[in-house]
Chains A and B, each alone.
Chain A
Amino acid sequence: MKASNPFWKDYLEGQMPPHLASEIDAFESDLALRRQGKIDERVFAEIRLRRGVYGQRYDSGQRHDGRTTRTLAYPDGKPTKGPNTVWDAPGMQRIKIPFGGLNARQLEVVAELAEEYADGVAHVTTRQDFQLHFVHIDDTPTIMRRLAAVGITTREACGNSIRNVTACPLAGVCRDETFDVTPYAKMTAYYLLGHPECQDFGRKFKIAFSGCKENPCALVRMHDMGFIAAVREIDGAVRRGFEVYIGGGLGTVPYQAKLFAEFLPVEELLPLAVAVARVYTKYGEKKNRNTARIKFLVNKLGIEEFKRRVEEERAGLAHDPRWGEMLRAIPAYQEGPLKDPSLLPITGPPPEGFERWSRRNVYRQRQVGYAAVTIALPLGDITADQLRRVADLARKYTRETVRTTVEQNLVLRWVSEADLPALYAELEAAQLAEPVAGSIADIVACPGTDTCKLGIASSRGLAAELRKRLLAQGVHEDGAVSNLHIKISGCFNSCGQHHVADIGFYGVSRNKNGYTVPHFQLLVGGQWEENAGSYGLAIGAVPAKRVPEALERITRRYLSERTFGESFGAFIKRIGKAECKKMIEDLMHVPPHEEDPSFYVDWSDAREFTIGDLGVGECAGEVVSPVDFQLAACEREAFEAQLLLEAGQIERAAQAAYAAMMHGAQALLRFKLGSCPEEPEAVYQQFREHFYDTQLFFDPFAQGKFAHYYFAAHRRNGAAHDAESARQQIEEAQLFLEAAHSCYARMLSARAGK
């Protein structure tokens, strides 16, 4: 697309590491071969994904403009860049930043790319990557070359591969850490990059490192494999190692990672990673991507059997000389300051706003006289001009020690404390000094319907609205709610990490008289601390436009009724989920379209919210169909399952979750067939025949995944549950019911179209 693309290769020759240059050449050849139709579209899709070249919303060439679904008239005669993916449609480029570490020149190059190839904004993700949106695929080899010239690769940023290896952004300067995990994260990232044992996974694989157990910075327990720094005295010497967790993950149904080893010596880090990769390759699911993450394998085998197989593979691994070489290089890794340590001057008044900013955004390092400064980015977004300012400041005040964070912010480390007022003034001038880091207004959100193909509702639109209101109220500055975490996903896939927030949201839709209404499921009880110590559960779907009110009610109630020193999590636990739901129940009502059409439009949008070309149904009045009633009853059942779980009644909770799914299936069967059986086996058989075998229940992206939740629950009905499996069944029931709502909307739409 860019006229300069052919020239960059020559211009950058000699500036790129040779292996990166040849990989990018190979990718460019793949693009050419695909253009000639010599590579299958599915194969090409995985090739580009493994280079971080991702699809984006509307790249099927279809878009609903609020009135009708239209074909976007891209030029003819080009191949697809994957199944149902138009070549010329804008896409996304993900840029992998191992452990979030960046230098000034790298920031400048990201700024240049954002300006020249994207929309002028670089987006920090919840996994410490950068993303550029609205990128043309023809520009991607040049983007990769310009990144390679400053030492960045996009290899395996997406696809079924080892994704970005993340680490605590305070590693090395943290007051609580056992030791600095940075060099170990870096070693792991580069050792596994392109490793032959990691090329045949059924799904992606995410790794995280944390320097301590208590703080949340790395969220180890929600990762496929996580390492927490630990030391142990062995033969009189203090040895470094890691507590290892495997099999965590959010996604549709979240799993807590299981403790794999209490202490793994650092010498075993890389061999273990390879052995785990082998087990995952050998025994992990490949055909059904919905059950292909390693969490399902660990769950299926049990952690002990999984461990036995890993140890078996480890025993059979041939020695790799790089294990020792990389480990011996670790002591040479060091990151230090540009300036001498100093203390904050106490003479003279600080710049206006400095104190507030300092309270929120400055972290005193364990190295006395130095501070780490968080630059809070709204929704993870930063402009090219701002990136250049950050690069300037990184050079001026530090040895270019910048990190991205999983909270979608940037951190400048090793700032000599006496420089803080001056740094603040310069950040303020660049509009980068908002005093909100880690506060309730520092909201995390995935791309949602802005750019993601899977998004159901506008997570970023909601995040921007909540942020604006919270800042106006000033609740982020002080007080009990100021430290709460809000995280928002556009759908059930959890890219916004809604499960590990004090208050989480994920996008869903509901039908109202033939119209589709954007909603968000509201979750409470998640825990960000202790490396994502526990997951929240949904208490009800609120219309998108009423979410700000719901948030305000919950936070006000907490403020007025909490006991001295009571945390939000403890408060929610004390009052119980039934009481939480009561707080928002009246807000779940949607007025008819003719009364208030604003409910039928999502945040940051002007189009009437629809899925596909769903039109107005035959019922123009305030009529609720029997299916609506039945599905609402099923949701109540799923919620009651949560209450039973909360009360420790595990078997009853699992049974209630199963019943919710079965009744949802019955509601759909009644709508389709006019009647349905009552006996569970017959319901199961009929649902399978009429909704699964016909693919009527299939989600466009998840396919039959949600039906399988019901089938699995049916098969194990009556079998014993533990708290975790019951919890999963409740999550699955909720997702099955979401899919039932969508299926019903599609059937209505089809009937209306007849």
Chain B
Amino acid sequence: MPHEPEHINLKIFAREPAPRNLAGAIPVFHRWIQDSALNELLIDVADYRHVPAGPGVILVGFEANYSLDLTESRLGLLYNRKKPLPGSLADKLRQAWESAWAACRRLEQEPEFRGEMRFDANSCEVIFNDRLLAPNTPETFEALRPELEEFFAGLWGARTFTLARVGEPRERLRVHAAKAPA
């Protein structure tokens, strides 16, 4: 792996049955901008509900985007880090998880979703949004595995989870992480 990975994306999946209608996300995300709900610069809301298996509704920010993402027709909160961060990969994963999970908790409370939006803290996907810093190869995955394991061990406990490289070679490197059932 030639360089330190950057631009971590992290998707925390919604619990089934997940809401099918994301119209509520539009006022919610606009309100987050109005209320400066997150401690970062939030710019606008992009509505892609018309695109099947697409980005859903995006809260566009300067440091990161947050979206109720429908890629692979599976709803989740996608945190897309845009601004580079200092620190190790584990630090960057931690920051991404904390930001994403905080957004999930906030979404769960929003009245527009009437309690139907619930997220699963026991599984997620990590996407390395840079094909040059983190090429989608088995070698990169193996090189990153120790830091991924360190992070998820801290989150879920040692030896309680699985990591798998998913998707096809042309995609960005994507790692599915799941906590083993107790």
Contacts and interface: CB of A to CB of B under 8 A. Distances in A.
Interface of A: 1-4, 7-8, 11, 57-58, 63, 65-67, 72-74, 88-90, 108, 111-112, 115-116, 119-121, 133-134, 136, 378-379, 381-383, 385-386, 388, 431, 450, 460-461, 464, 467-468, 604-607
Contact of A607 (B30, B58, B133, B170): B30
Given A90-B43, A450-B46, A607-B30, A4 B3 contact: yes
Interface stretch (B48-56, B101-109, B116-124): B48-56
B132 A606 contact: no
Nearest to B34: A65
Contact of A4 (B34, B132, B168): B132
B50 A464 contact: yes
B44 A2 contact: no
Contacts of B41: 72-74
Nearest to B25: A606
B30 A378 contact: no
Contacts of B34: 65-67
A182 B119 CA distance: 51
B170 A57 contact: no
A72 B132 CA distance: 31
Interface of B: 2-4, 6-7, 26-27, 30-31, 33-34, 41, 43-55, 58, 60, 62, 65, 71-72, 82-84, 129-133, 168, 170-172
Contact of A119 (B4, B7, B46, B133): B46
Contacts of A464: 47, 49-50
Contacts of A57: 44
Contacts of A467: 50
A120 B54 contact: yes
A115 B129 contact: yes
Nearest to A384: B171
A241 B6 CA distance: 54
Contact of A116 (B47, B49, B172): B172
A477 B168 CA distance: 36
B43 A63 contact: yes
Nearest to A386: B53
A374 B52 CA distance: 17
Given A119-B58, A467-B50, A66 B30 contact: yes
Most B CB atoms within 10 A — which of A73, A120, A382, A464?
A120
Contacts of A136: 82
Contact of B84 (A3, A605, A606): A3
Contact of A604 (B33, B47, B53, B171): B47
Contact of B51 (A7, A116, A381, A450): A381
8 contacts: A1-B82, A108-B170, A120-B54, A134-B60, A383-B54, A431-B53, A606-B31, A606-B45
Contacts of A607: 30
Given A1-B82, A379-B50, A468-B50, A388 B26 contact: no
A119 B2 contact: no
B32 to A, nearest CB: 10
A65 B50 contact: no
A605 B26 contact: yes
Contact of A74 (B50, B55, B62, B171): B62
Nearest to A379: B50
Contacts, number: 119
B62 A378 contact: no
A385 B69 CA distance: 13
Given A4-B3, A88-B62, A388-B170, A378 B27 contact: no
Given A58-B44, A116-B172, A3 B7 contact: yes
A108 B136 CA distance: 15
A382 B41 CA distance: 27
A440 to B, nearest CB: 16
A301 to B, nearest CB: 44
Contacts of B132: 4, 7-8, 11
A378 B50 contact: yes
B27 A606 contact: yes
Given A2-B130, A3-B7, A383-B53, 19 more contacts: A1-B83, A2-B7, A2-B84, A3-B4, A4-B3, A7-B3, A8-B132, A57-B44, A65-B30, A67-B34, A88-B62, A116-B129, A121-B51, A121-B54, A382-B51, A383-B54, A388-B170, A460-B47, A461-B47
B6 to A, nearest CB: 4
A3 B48 CA distance: 27
B170 A7 contact: no
Contacts of B55: 119-121, 383
A325 to B, nearest CB: 37
B182 to A, nearest CB: 34
Contacts of A11: 132
Contact of A115 (B30, B43, B168, B172): B172
Contacts of B27: 606
A3 B6 CA distance: 7
Contacts of A388: 168, 170-171
A606 B129 contact: no
Nearest 7 interchain pairs by C-beta? A606-B27, A431-B52, A3-B6, A4-B132, A606-B30, A604-B47, A378-B50
Contacts of B33: 65
Contact of A3 (B43, B47, B62, B133): B133
B54 A3 contact: no
Nearest to B52: A431
A63 B62 CA distance: 14
B84 A119 contact: no
A88 B41 CA distance: 11
Contacts of B72: 385
Nearest to A142: B132
Contacts of A1: 82-84
B60 A119 contact: yes
Contacts of B44: 57-58, 63
A4 B129 contact: no
B130 A3 contact: yes
Contact of A381 (B30, B48, B62, B172): B48
A605 B54 CA distance: 19
Nearest to B33: A65
A7 B72 CA distance: 31
A77 to B, nearest CB: 15
B152 to A, nearest CB: 23
Contact of B130 (A4, A67, A604): A4
Contacts of A108: 170
A388 B53 CA distance: 14
A273 to B, nearest CB: 38
Contact of A605 (B7, B30, B83): B30
A119 B49 contact: no
Contacts of A381: 48, 50-51, 54
Contacts of A90: 43, 60
A625 to B, nearest CB: 30
B176 to A, nearest CB: 16
A65 B60 CA distance: 13
Contacts of B171: 385, 388
A448 to B, nearest CB: 11
A116 B4 CA distance: 16
A468 B47 CA distance: 14
A606 B46 CA distance: 12
A604 B49 CA distance: 10
Nearest to A383: B54
A2 B83 CA distance: 7
A185 B132 CA distance: 35
Contacts of B51: 121, 378, 381-383
Contacts of B3: 3-4, 7
Contacts of A133: 46
A259 to B, nearest CB: 40
B9 to A, nearest CB: 9
A431 B52 CA distance: 6
Most A CB atoms within 10 A — which of B48, B65, B84, B170?
B48
A89 B82 CA distance: 13
A11 B131 CA distance: 12
Most B CB atoms within 10 A — which of A89, A385, A468?
A385
